[in-house]
Structure 1
Amino acid sequence: MNETKKMRSIARNINRSWVAGLFAAFLLFDILAAGLTIGGWCYFQETKTGAEFSLKTPRHFETIDADQIPEEHQGYAQRSKRWILIPFQDTMIRAQYVYEDSSGKKQTVYAGKFLIFSWRCLALIILIQLLSLLSDMLTGSRKARRQLAPLYEMTQKAKELTDAAAFDESKFHDLEDAISQISPTGPDARLQTGDTELEGLEQAVNSLLDRMRQSYQQQARFVSDASHELRTPIAVIQGYANMLDRWGKEDEKILAESIDAIKSESDHMKKLVEQLLFLARGDSGRTKLTMEEFSLRETIKEVFDESVMIDSDHYYHLKESEDLKITGDAAMVKQAARILVDNAAKYTPAGADIVLQVKKNEKNHPCFVVQDEGIGIAAGDVSHVFERFFRADPARGRDSGGTGLGLSIAKWIVDRHGGYFQVLSREEIGTRITVCFPQNPH
């Protein structure tokens, strides 16, 4: 019974707040309607002869004697007294509007008829509003209770379920012991309590463990691969340094060979470290993108011009396309495109063609395409080419100057732009990589 009274009290409070808000809204509406109606009438009276309306013009309403009402309105003034009387009617019927025209001459306009008509219209609106407020006051609480009834039933049911549930503290201790025995890096680490009531929680924890284990394995593989990639140039540099120390100081041929090898390996190691730092900053969220609208066609054209200038071993072609605009970091998108073009040049024989193009794909997404006539990628390796340090075959090794990180960097950039890749490749025929950005082109 107390709960029922409490719900009724809440319903009454809600209804009072609703009625108060509705009253305030009606009052504001009436004030604005009256002000706009009178202001509009004054504007019309001052401008109907072609004069300009000015807020600085002196104007006011004043009352006149009954015998000063214009003759054409005397009949209306007499008839209005036989109608339903409204407050201030006697004053309004004798009102006139006074203003100065552009020459400074005072002009008067009889306003009684307008004011009486407007006041009666407003009184009718107020009467309708009062009836609406009265109806809400009488029936609003009942409506509020009907609206609150489902919520009240849910509250009661939740309370019943809570009271009926048995609190078994030992289950939480068993769960705590099972969690404490789990090793996240263990190959078969699983949470198992044997309690069917905790089955949903077990699945959630095991799913989290699987993701942690996968992340740990990827991190371990990445560190191992990075160490291996760095170990090779260091070993080469150390080998040539030892050779110079032993007998290469006087042998100009060995000296030149050693210097060239050390410079080459140093450049390779510098490039590798820079790429590792880029990926590390990206994974930690420290690489910030400057998102702005730019022309994808102009960006790809810049990459095309640079490639033609620095690579004379291949024939570059830029297909004509419409000017598609996307929102993103122009410098980052250009870097991704340059990585794909460099990759195509590494694995395409000299004298072959490399084609660049900007277009819309079948989903109407703006894209850019890099197509080569290189050695191609095996079908089973296509899904792995964007993994860090992945190389499809020995031909894609350090001899070609690659680090195995370029495509990973390109994928990171495209992923941060919400884009995706479409890869089509045939061995000994070539590869076509399409990068798409799922946003509406302008």
Structure 2
Amino acid sequence: MKRLKLSTKITWNYALIFTSILLIINLAVFLSTQFYNRLSAGNEVDALLASIEDEILDGADITGEKLRSLGAVSPFFASMEDGSGITSSQEQFRLEEREGDVILVKDFEKGPVETDKIILSRSRVAGPSGVVELLVLKDLSVFSFMNSVTLVTLIIASVLGIFVSYVVGYFISRQSFTPILSMTKSAAAIGPGNIHDRLEEPDVQDELKELSQTFNGLLDRLDDAYSKQAKFVSDASHELRTPLTVIKGYNDLLRRWGKEDPEILEEAIQAIRAETDNMSMLVENLLFIAKGENKKMKLDLTTFSVKDLLEETAKDSELSVPDRDFLVLSDDFTVFQDRRMIKQLLRIFIENSVKFTKADATITLKAEEAGDVYRLHVMDDGEGIAEEDLKRIFERFYVADKARTKNKAGSGLGLSIAKWIVETHGGTLEASSRLGEGTTMTASFPKRAEKSGSS
């Protein structure tokens, strides 16, 4: 049964259920017929007995002919016993008792016929000449032929019903599975070469349409993930190619004549060191994103003061970037989050602000609470971001206008990492900026991150 196709299983199940119902109905019809026959026979016997009793009470002379005239003819039998003897409606019929059962014996020329399928009723009546013992019965063996015909008819009907149920079940399952088979073939045909193809959705609003819509939605998500992966590989390759090209160029320069020129040697060493640092940071960021997407990075949730974190981050930044001023504006409140990641988020914002502000510029770190949420702001008065770039700055590897950001922009991964950190904590991230007026990064968080937010 496990190796059968689903359509075959449905066909057999349908046939089995239909057959079971049909057999139950047929059995009920047969048994109800038997019950009705016995009930009807009992009523008829009681009615005949009552008629004979009335005649006796009226003082009528009861003879065999009289009994037959009252209705005691085959399959009925009646007998009356009084002081003068026994009078019966059929002389060839007699009753025998065997082991407590009453047997009707019918004497025919070809031999006696016995049956215990009878409905019998007795009574005692006070007649003119004394007490009269009455007995009336009906022979149910006359129904044997009709019962046999009924049983054979029901068996034939059951066999035909089984056949019809199988045929109907076969066509119903075939009709039901035709769209599914079509969907299966369409799904099997989708591959890397036609990943944008989709299953055809049935016109009827039913479960198959919902299935096709669900499967198409899955394909859309896979297609999107495939496209993002391809773009990720392409962008990562491009970003790695640039520093490798620079390193290779300076290596060739040193190999040809730079080893004898101290100035060229120093320039090459500094350039190679800078590009190596860029590559190291790029690889580190790529690993961070990969761990996040593969859900191998978990939040280390602790309770900490936001104001203390901002002051700590500002102090660290003053040491690494002494030509910028850092201002902290924060309410004093605590949150339950991953302190290390929130600090990394602030550093990413600060690094971007440092790139696009001049010396002696002020970078403001601000935190404010509002009920169960709080907001972090990192504000600067630098060059700002163009409106067309503002909508895409959180995309991976996206770098704003290359001509305007030359020698300033990084790999384009920092803000995408920042977005991941915010969303993993259940928050939202937005940027507001105008060219020449500065930029504000705002991250909104629930004050208590959930454990389920871990990735």
Which TM-score applies when normalising by structure 1? 0.59
Q: Which residue of 1 aligns with 2:173?
A: 167
C-alpha distance in 2, partners of 1:348/1:268? Answer: 21
The answer (yes or no) to whether the contact 1:359–1:368 under 8 Å persists in 2 is: yes
Q: Percent of pairs identical after alignment? A: 42
Query: Is the aligned partner of 1:249 residue 2:259?
Result: yes
Q: Which runs of 5+ in 1 are unaligned?
A: 4-162
Alpha-carbon distance between aligned partners in 2 of 1:281 and 1:193, rounded to the nearest angstrom = 37
1:259 equivalent to 2:265? Answer no
Instruction: Determine the structure 1 residue equivalent to 2:355.
Output: 346
For residue 246 of structure 2, what is the aligned residue in structure 1? 236
- Alpha-carbon distance in structure 1 between the residues aligned to 2:320 and 2:357: 15
Q: 1:183-207 deviations in whole A, cap 9, x for unaligned?
A: 3663641111656353222221111
Secondary structure at the counterpart of residue 173 of structure 2: coil
Match of 2:289 in 1: 279
SS of 2:238's partner is: helix
Deviation digits for residues 141-174 of structure 1 (CA, Å, limit 9, x no counterpart) = xxxxxxxxxxxxxxxxxxxxxx9x9323333322
Structure with greater proportional helix content: 1
The equivalent position to 1:390 in structure 2, one of 390, 395, 398, is 398
Superposition CA RMSD, Å: 2.6
Match of 1:270 among 271, 280, 286: 280
Residue type matched to 2:243 in 1?
P
Query: 2:362 is aligned with what amino acid?
Result: D
Q: 2:338 matched to which residue of 1?
A: 329
Q: Which moved more, 1:188-197 or 1:258-267?
A: 188-197
Give 2:313's aligned residue: 303
Aligned pairs for 1:2-151 (under 5 A) are none
Would you say the 8 A contact 1:396–1:402 is kept in 2? no
**Structure-2 change in CA distance of 1:278 and 1:398 (3 Å):** farther
Q: How many angstroms apart in 1 are the aligned matches of 2:214 and 2:192?
A: 14
Q: Is the 8 A contact 1:178 1:193 kept in 2?
A: no
Letter paired with 2:306: L
Q: Is the 8 A contact 1:268 1:401 kept in 2?
A: no
Residue 190 of structure 1: SS of its match in structure 2? coil
Structure 2 distance, partners of 1:401, 1:175, is 48
Structure with greater proportional strand content = 2
How many residues are treated as equivalent by the alignment? Answer: 280
Note the 1:315-326 alignment, pairs <5 A. 315-319=325-329, 321-326=330-335
Match of 1:356 in 2: 365
- Distance in 2 (CA, whole Å) between partners of 1:236 and 1:280 is 26
User: Tell me, what secondary structure is at the counterpart of 1:192?
Assistant: coil
**Map of 2:28 onto structure 1:** none
Asked whether the equivalents of residues 185 and 213 of structure 1 are also in contact (C-alpha less than 8 Å), the reply is: no
TM-score between both structures, scaled by the size of structure 2: 0.57
The answer to whether the 8 A contact 1:355-1:372 is kept is yes
Cα distance in 2 for partners of 1:182, 1:195 equals: 22
Aligned residue in 2 for 1:313? 323
> In structure 2, the residue corresponding to 1:354 is in which secondary structure?
strand
The residue type paired with residue 365 of structure 1 is V
Q: How many Å separate the matches in 2 of 1:170 and 1:354?
A: 66
Q: Return the offset for 1:272.
A: 0.8
Q: Is the 8 A contact 2:201 2:213 kept in 1?
A: no
CA 1:288 to 1:194, structure 2 compared with 1: closer, same or farther past 3 Å? closer
Contact 1:184 1:213 (C-alpha < 8 Å) held by counterparts: no
Match of 1:436 among 440, 444, 450: 444
Residue 187 of structure 2 corresponds to 179
**CA separation of 1:378 and 1:339: change in aligned 2, threshold 3 A:** same
CA spacing shift, 1:174–1:187, aligned 2, 3 Å:
closer
Map 1:205-244; keep pairs closer than 5 Å: 205-244=215-254
